[in-house]
Amino acid sequence: MEEHIGAGKRRRDEQTPDGIRILYEDNHLLVVEKPANLPVQADASGDTDLLSLLKKYIRERYKKPGEAYLGLVHRLDRPVGGAMVFAKTSKAAARLSAQFRSHEAKKRYCAIVSGEPKSGETLTDWLMKDETTFSSRVVPAETTGAKEARLRYSLLGEGSGKALLDVELLTGRPHQIRVQLQNAGLPIEGDQRYNPAAQAGTQIRLWAYALTITHPTLKEQMTFFSAPPWDGEGAFTAQVQLLPAFSVCRGVYLNEECVVVDKNAGAETEGELLGELESLFEVVYPVHRLDANTEGIVLFARTQEAAARYETLFYRHELRKIYHAVVRGVPQERGSFVHWLKKDADESFMTVCRQGEPGAQRAELNYRVLKSGGGKSLLEIELLTGRTHQIRVQMAQAGYPVLGDDKYGDRAFNKENRRRTQALLAKRLEIGGRTFESLRELEL
């Protein structure tokens, strides 16, 4: 069971007397938001450190005589801020330390980088730490003392030569994210140590925004969130504010009247997705829907007036909905399909029928082949009508079923290609003079 803490249902907004924000606290755990540029523990600088401030908080709040116990089970670089967990008992410390060693505990970061990242990539390097300079560098794999470092990133947004990345650590090496991204040609903005182009005095744009652990005694999985306090990053405002909803969507656009998200496959529009957005924005109104296993662009209104206006545009078809799909076979380069469909509401199933039959609805789409290979094709599809499961039904009827669609498609083909969810992406939505586009890409 995953519990989202720090935003939404169980959000805490307490601070210690020294201004450290508390995300969660019980008899075993203390989860806080580490400020940027504050060392985690005492070092040669002699500066105030987070561990000492938190021990002071525990000693004073609970009136503990002498030194208060607080176990340090993981670290963040001094210039980096974000979610950190501390153990309030030795038993909790041992169990949490084991989670971090085994990588059962998951740490996610957001970073603003220069360069042109891929839509997603796993980086594997070998790092060597220099104990004299307290820096790390990439070295050949056979170097004595080198340690393997792996991370996975996905692209959340891009513009003006910069990009916002969601980074998941797969190993835990000193300065790992900073060194690996720099080595990949994606230096982090404001990184004074590893980015030669960073201007003096600028703040590093790296933040530990999510931390997932298993509670040491309750045995429940818990995820804590901390949004980066970055100003002047208008191009990525939506993505940053929607980071706590990373399990169901990515941010695309946000203003006073709408939220546009890039939905993950598996999330119900009016289920998990709506719930996550309401936990962040109090009230939102779904304007249209995607099948649970279809990923891509979904629009929500933030006011009733905006919802009515958008719904009118959808009803009048004064919009363009562009999808990408991987299908079986290779159709002609361009084409159109028109069918008449009838819905079985009880079974949530669409069947092809004849024009004029009771309940028959006209369904029309245009497509073009983007590329093909291996008996499959990647198509761009424009919906000219909006029927339930329309693309999946029409492409199957035409002999080009969507890969991964077990409901209307070819199950043997899906099994052969090891695809369990349909390869269908709501790539672009053009509505009200605006265009919203998913950064995701489907691959053959």
pLDDT at 227 over 80: yes
Each residue's pLDDT tens digit, 287-301: 999 999 999 999 999
Question: Can you give the pTM of this predicted structure?
Answer: 0.85
Three-class DSSP category at 82: strand
Of 163-177, 226-240, 321-335, minimum mean pLDDT range:
226-240
Q: Does the annotation mark 77 as catalytic? A: yes
Beta bridge partners of 437: 428
Confidence (pLDDT) at 11: 40
- Range(s) for CATH 3.30.70.580 in the chain? 248-316
Name residue 263's beta-bridge partners.
249, 296
Catalytic pick among 18, 26, 43, 77: 77
Lowest mean pLDDT among 4-18, 107-121, 291-305: 4-18
Q: Exposed, middle or buried by CB within 10 Å (0-12, 13-18, 19+), for 314? A: middle
Mean pLDDT rounded to a whole number for the chain: 93
Q: Which residue has the tokens 């245009």?
A: 366
Residue 65: per-residue pLDDT = 87
Q: Are strands 81-87 and 206-214 parallel, antiparallel or unpaired?
A: parallel
Best CA proximity match to 299, nearest among 307, 291, 380: 307
Q: What is the mean pLDDT of residues 36-59?
A: 94
pLDDT reported for residue 232: 67
- Report whether pLDDT(10) > 50: no
Model confidence at 89: pLDDT above 50: yes
Domain 318-437 has CATH 3.30.2350.10: yes
Confidence grade of residue 3 (pLDDT, cut at 50, 70, 90): very low
85 class by beta-carbon count within 10 Å (0-12 exposed, 13-18 middle, 19+ buried): buried
pLDDT one-digit tens code per residue, 301-348: 999 999 999 999 998 889 999 999 999 999 999 999 999 999 987 778
CATH 3.30.2350.10 in the chain: give the residue spans: 2-247, 318-437
pLDDT given for residue 134 in this prediction: 86
259 pLDDT exceeds 60? yes
Check residue 7 and give its pLDDT.
37
List the CATH code of the domain at 248-316: 3.30.70.580
Homologous superfamily of 2-247: Pseudouridine synthase (3.30.2350.10)
Tell me which amino acid residue 40 is.
Answer: V
Q: Which residues contact 411 (CB under 8 A, 6 or more apart)?
A: none
Tokens of 383: 């919906």
Q: How far apart are CA 304 and CA 257, in angstroms?
A: 9
At 76 the pLDDT is 96
